[in-house]
Amino acid sequence: MEIVLDKRALRQIRQSAADAIEEGDTETLREDVLDVFSDEQVEEIERRIDTDFYDFLGDALDEWGGEEVDELIDLMESHLADVGVELKFEGVDDDSDDEEEPAAVDDDDDLDLGGGDDDDEEEELEEEDTDE
């Protein structure tokens, strides 16, 4: 199962984790993290674990050192992966996006798979379109 959280959800987790670090309040953090998941996602996760999701998050928070926000996110991803849930964040630059970076490079030589001079023809067509 794959769960993709949007930028707002990640921002909420990061802010709440930063507050937890500052104030030492992981209870609010646990509730905030729980809130970013839909009811359907929580139900599916709970089918895969031996406890409820609230307690499951508590285990991750207990393991968290309370120092680095990214460490908490990594722990959440790891704990969920252990039960067959892949946690991803929409539109976020993280380590997994680095693997896809070469595909986003504009340098035609890096992406050329030996298909001939198609790139030159495309550039000529683009230049003709802009000249008109």
Q: Are residues 93 and 116 in the same domain?
A: no
Question: Which residue is associated with the tokens 């030159």?
Answer: 120
Q: Are residues 43 and 87 in the same domain?
A: yes
The parent domain of residue 123 ranges over 100-131
Q: Are residues 87 and 109 in the same domain?
A: no
Structure token pair of residue 116: 């001939």
Q: Are residues 89 and 108 in the same domain?
A: no
CB 74 within 8 A of CB 10: no
Amino acid making up residue 94: D
CB 80 within 8 A of CB 87: yes
Q: With the CA atoms of 124, 125, 129 and 132 taken in that order, what torsion angle do they form, in degrees rounded to the nearest 10?
A: 60
CB 3 within 8 A of CB 76: no
Q: How many structural domains are present in the chain?
A: 2
Look up the pTM and report it: 0.64
Q: Are residues 53 and 112 in the same domain?
A: no
Q: Among residues of the chain, what percentage have pLDDT more than 70?
A: 69
Amino acid making up residue 90: E
Q: Are residues 48 and 85 in the same domain?
A: yes
Question: Which residue is associated with the tokens 């909420």?
Answer: 12
- Tell me: pLDDT of 55 over 70: yes
Q: How confident is the model at residue 24 (pLDDT cuts 50, 70, 90)?
A: confident
Distances (CA, A) of 115 to 76, 118, 127: 43, 7, 21
Q: How confident is the model at residue 99 (pLDDT cuts 50, 70, 90)?
A: very low
- Nearest-angstrom CA–CA distance, 54 and 27: 10
Q: Are residues 91 and 123 in the same domain?
A: no
